[in-house]
Amino acid sequence: MSDKRRAEILAKRAKLEEMRKAKAQRQAEADRRTSLGRTPPPKPDDRDLDDYIIKIIGQPRGVDTGELTPSIPGTPSLSNIPIPGTSHSGRASRGSNEGSDRLPLDSSFGRYTSSGTDHVVDHTLIPRVTVDLIDIEQELFELPQKERVLYNKEVQTRDLSDENDADAAQAEVELRERILRERLAEAESAAAREKELDEESVRLEKEIEAEIRDLTEEERTIILGAPEFADFVESSTKIIQRALNDNYDYIRDYTLGAESGVDDSEGKRVKRVCAFFDERYGKNRSITDVDWSPKYPEISCAAYNKNPAALNEPDGLVAIWNLHMLERPEFVLHSQSDVLSVTFSPFHSNLVFGGTYSGQILLWDMRSKHLPVLKTPLSAAGHTHPVYAMQMVGTQNAHNLITSSTDGLVCSWLVDMLAQPQESLELIHAGHSKTGEVAITTLDFPNNETTTFMVGTEEGNVYQAHRYDRAGAKAGLNQYDVYKGHTGPVMGLHFHPLVGPVDFSDLFLTCSVDWTVKLWRAKSLTNASGPPPPSLSTNLSSSTSGKSAGAAGSHAAAIAPIYSFEEADDYVYDVKWHPLHPAVFGTADGSGKFDLWNLNTDTEVPIVSTAVSSGRAINKIQWDKKDGRRVALGGSDGKLYIYDIGDMGVPRESEWADMQRTVSGFAGAGQGGYGDGESGTRVMAGR
C-alpha cells in the first residue's frame, strides 16, 4: 500500500516540478518581452542576465518587450539575436520550445502558442511592436547557464517598428510595469501552489507512516491481559450481540418480490419466543425461581441451584437475561449456597434479592460484579432453614421484604439493613395433633395487603397468618381456619391480581403435588375464625371432618376450595394468575407441560396445553409484568423458556362479568352438593 503512496508522492513531486517549470517558463516569456537592451532591468535578477545578454548580443535595439502579453509578435530583430540558452537545462521539457522562443518572429510566436503552459501570453501576430528580446531568466533554477547559440533561419531583418523609438520607450516602461505586476502575481500564485504541493506531500508521507502496524507478541500479551481490555470486550460484545439479535432488515424493499414466509400466528397458539440457556452456568442445574424486572420489560432473571458435578463453581446462581440477547445472560450473580427464590426489587431497578438454601438473604446490585453487596448473617436471628418464598410488600417509601423458611419462621427485613430482621414471626400451629411447626413452602400476600397473608405448607393445608396483633387475634398463624383440600405439599399459591371493575382479590389458586389445582376464596379478616367460644361443641373441630365454611365466623372450620382442577397427570409445580385477564391463569407441571386456562371458556380443561420441555419438569411460572403477553417458565433442565401467548391474555369488557358468573357458579354448586364428610369437596361440572 505504501508503495502506491510513494508512487503518488513521486507523481505529485513530478507535477510540482512541472508546475515550477511552467512558472519559470512563463516568467521567461515575460522576460522575453522585456527588451534585451533595457538598461534598468525590471528586476535585480534581470540585471545580471541583461548584462550578460548585452555583453553577448550588443546593444539592444531599443525594441522592447512592449509586446508583452498579447500581440507581441515576433520581432524580426529577435532573429538576429542569438540568445544563449540560459537555464535550458532546467527546462528540459521545453528545450525545443525555448529554442524556438529565442527565435523571434512569427515562427517563434507560432511556437509560443504551441507551448501549452504559456497561457499568459496569447499571441496575435500583430507585427506592430518592437523587437522581442529574449531574455531568459533563471529565477527558479540555480543552474548554470548553458551557452547555446541558436540561429534563426527565418526572417533576419528587423521589424519596421524599429523606427518608433520614442513610443517604444514609453511603451516599454508601461509594459515593464505591467510585467512586474504580473510577475509578482505569478510568483505569488506559484508560491501558493508550491506550498499546497508541499503540504500534500507531507500529508502523504504522514499517511504512509500511519500505516497499520503489527503488534509484537509482547505487546499483544500485555493488551490481552489488561483488565480494562476484558471490560471492554464484555461491554462491547454485549452491545454487538444485542444489535445482532435485532433481525429486522431495515433496508428491505417491500416493493420487490413476494414474501414467501407466512406468519402463522393464529389466535389460539402459544408460541415459544426463546429458551435461555447458558452452557457454562446452566448445565446440571435447575431453575428454582423466575422473576421479571419491573422497570425493563425485556429483562428477566432466573435463580439456579447447585451443580453437583462442578465443585468449583458457585453453588447458587442468578442469571439476568435479556430478550434481545439470546446467547448469554446480561449478568451472572453468584452465591455461596443454592438460590431458591429471587425477586427484583420493585422500587430500585438495580437490586435483586435472593433467598438461599442456607437461610441467608442476599442482595445483589446489577451494577457491581458477581458477588452480593449485602448478606444476612448466618445467625439465629435470621433464617436457618431454606428460604423458599419471599415477597416485597409496601410502598416506595416504606417497604419490607417478607421471607419465609421451612421451619415456619417468617421474617420481615428492611432493604438496607440486612444485618437483622426488622421483625420475625414464628408461625406455630398450636392445635396441631402432631407438631406445632408449620413447614412453609409458599407464601403470598393478597393485593394491597401488607399484614395478612396466606401460607401453604408441606402437609397440604393453607393457613392465614397475620404479621401483627389485631383486636381479637394474635400475630401469627390463624389455626382455626384451615384451608384444607390438598393431600400433598402445596407448591404454589397465588392471589388474584386486583385489576378491573370487579374485585376478585379474595380468590386464590393453589397447586400441589397431588396433581390438582384448587381455587379458594379467602375469608376476610372480619370473618376469620377465632377460638371457639366454650359453649359450642360437637360440630366444631379443626380436624379432618370436612364442612364447608359457613358465614358464622366463630367456628374453627376447615374451609374447602371452591373448585378443583383435575386435569393434570403429574405434580403441578406452579400456578399463576394472568396479570390482566381475570379468568386466565397458567400452570406448570412435572411432565414439562404448560397449561393455559381460561375460566370463562372452559373450566374443565385448559384452552391450550403446550409441551415445553420434553420430560423435564417446569418449576416456576412468572407472567410478564407489563402486559402479560409473555410468560417465563423455569425448567429443571436449567433452561428458561419464554413463551408468547398472543391475544389470549387480552381481556374483553365482558370478562369480568363472565368471571363473576363463573365463580358464583362454582360457589353455588359447592354449597349445593358437597361431598360426604370427605375432605376436599369435589365440585362436579360447576358450570
Partner 1 sequence: MSVPTGVSNASTTTPPEIEQTLAMLSGHRSVLGYMVLSRGGTVSIIKHSGVVFEGEQGRKYAGLIERIVESVQTGLEEISGEQNEGDEIRFLRIRTKRHELMISPAERYLLAVLHDPSS
Summarize as ranges the residues that interact with partner 1 (CB under 8 A).
1-3, 208, 210-215, 217, 219-221, 223-225, 228-230, 232-237, 239-241, 243-244, 247, 249-251, 280, 327-328
Is the CB of residue 315 less than 8 Å from the CB of residue 336? yes
What distance in Å separates the CA atoms of residue 94 and residue 103, rounded to the nearest whole number?
A: 14
C-alpha cell at 457: 405448607
- Sequence-distant (≥ 6) Cβ neighbours of residue 132 within 8 angstroms: 32, 33, 63, 65, 67, 72, 73, 74, 75, 77, 78, 104, 108
Q: Which residues pair with 456 in a beta bridge?
A: 442, 462
Q: Nearest approach, Cβ of 287 to partner 1 (angstroms)?
A: 21
Cell numbers placing 394: 409496601
Q: How far is the CB of 614 from partner 1 (least distance, A)?
A: 24
Choice between 237 and 548, CB closer to partner 1: 237
Q: Are 32 and 97 in contact (CB under 8 A)?
A: no
Contact of 509 with 517, CB cutoff 8 Å? yes
Identity of residue 157: T
**In the bound complex, what is the minimum distance in angstroms from residue 464's beta carbon to partner 1?**
50
CA–CA distances in Å: residue 171 to residues 37, 47, 67, 75: 14, 20, 9, 15
Q: Which is nearer to partner 1, 228 or 264 (CB)?
A: 228
Q: Which is nearer to partner 1, 113 or 241 (CB)?
A: 241
State the nearest-atom distance from the C-beta of 298 to partner 1, in Å.
18
Per the CB < 8 A criterion, the answer to whether 447 and 498 are in contact is yes
| Residue 332: CB minimum distance to partner 1, A | 11
- Tell me, what amino acid is at 488? G
> 211 or 416: whose CB is closer to partner 1?
211
Q: Is 627:639 a contact under the CB 8 Å cutoff?
A: no
Q: In angstroms, rounded to a whole number, what is the distance separating the alpha carbons of residues 602 and 585? A: 12
Q: How far is the CB of 336 from partner 1 (least distance, A)?
A: 21
Question: Count of alpha carbons within 13 Å of 320, Cβ hemisphere only?
Answer: 25
Q: How far is the CB of 244 from partner 1 (least distance, A)?
A: 6
Strand order of the β-sheet with 440-444 is 440-444, 452-457, 462-466, 476-483, 557-559
Find the shortest distance in angstroms from Cβ 233 to partner 1.
Answer: 5
d(CA 293, CA 351): 10
Report in angstroms how near the CB of residue 383 gets to partner 1 at its nearest.
Answer: 34
In the structure grid, which three cell numbers stand for residue 576, read together?
399463576
Which CB, 195 or 252, lies closer to partner 1? 252
Name which of 256 and 380 has its Cβ closer to partner 1.
Answer: 256
Pick 216 or 448: Cβ nearer partner 1: 216
Contact 500, 442 (CB under 8 A): no
For residue 681, the minimal CB distance to partner 1 (Å) is: 55
Q: For partner 1, which is the closer residue by CB, 195 or 220?
A: 220
Is the Cβ of residue 143 or residue 202 nearer to partner 1 in the bound state? 202
For partner 1, the closer of residues 321 and 388 by Cβ is 321
- Strand residue runs (E) in 452-527: 452-457, 462-466, 476-483, 490-495, 507-512, 517-521
